[in-house]
Amino acid sequence: MAGTRRRARSWRWGWVLALLGAPAVASGATLSVTVTDSDGVPLEHAVVAAWALDANGKVEPSREPVVIDQIDKEFVPYVSVVRKGTAVTFPNRDPVRHHVYSFSEAKTFEIPLYKGTPPEPVVFDTPGVVPLGCNIHDWMMAYVFVTDAPHFGVTDASGQIILRELAPRRYRVEVWHPELEGSREVAAHDVAVDPDGASLSVSIERRRMWRPRRAPHAGDAGYR
């Protein structure tokens, strides 16, 4: 019951167990962020974004093209983080068509059944979480995290991301993960980055995620 009520209040900040600084280094310091769940298990696919607290500099969208492939009826990568205003292409590497869509507030779009690379990339100009799906493959899922932060990245399998080329100052660090309790919120906290760099460990509470069952491959007989 209590859980239900908490969820009912949802869309709120997930709570963050943040910590902690290390000695600063000269320009070009690094911030190493490690994300784990409440059990201490490292979390891959966690988005980490950082802003210098005292910087007002306008962040330009990335000029480099961001690509989300569809390979073997899965989106690759699973989680992408892009700067606000970035155009993303969805090349289909499979022999079958895909139908990419999102009903998200940040970006509602649909690329009806297509093969190859769609002629027009999709521009994500509103910060937020954009879950992607494929209309004809229920299990295909991917996330695009749209941010206006200057520094960002996605944790690797060890749950770590190292943000480089940071000026030693104080930063606000936001952490998001598809399984974050209150999935549209981010966990945020401040950290001072020394010239020597800094590291931050963030523990987030995972929520239960139900996934549609993946259909068997052609030729794979058997009960789902």
Name the site residues for other proteins (rule: CB under 8 A).
1, 3-4, 7-8, 10, 99, 101, 103, 108, 131-135, 138, 140-141, 178, 183, 208-213
Minimum CB separation from other proteins for residue 125, in Å? 20
Minimum CB separation from other proteins for residue 135, in Å? 5
DSSP annotation of 180 reads B
Radius of gyration of the chain (CA): 19
Minimum CB separation from other proteins for residue 177, in Å? 13
77 prior amide bond cis, ω within 30: yes
Query: Which of 13, 103 has the CB closer to other proteins?
Result: 103
Beta-carbon contacts of residue 101 (< 8 Å; ≥ 6 apart)? 109, 110, 111, 132, 133, 134, 135
Minimum CB separation from other proteins for residue 141, in Å? 5
Query: Which of 128, 131 has the CB closer to other proteins?
Result: 131
Tell me which residue has tokens 């995620």: 209
Query: Which of 3, 95 has the CB closer to other proteins?
Result: 3
**159 contacts 43 by C-beta, under 8 angstroms:** yes
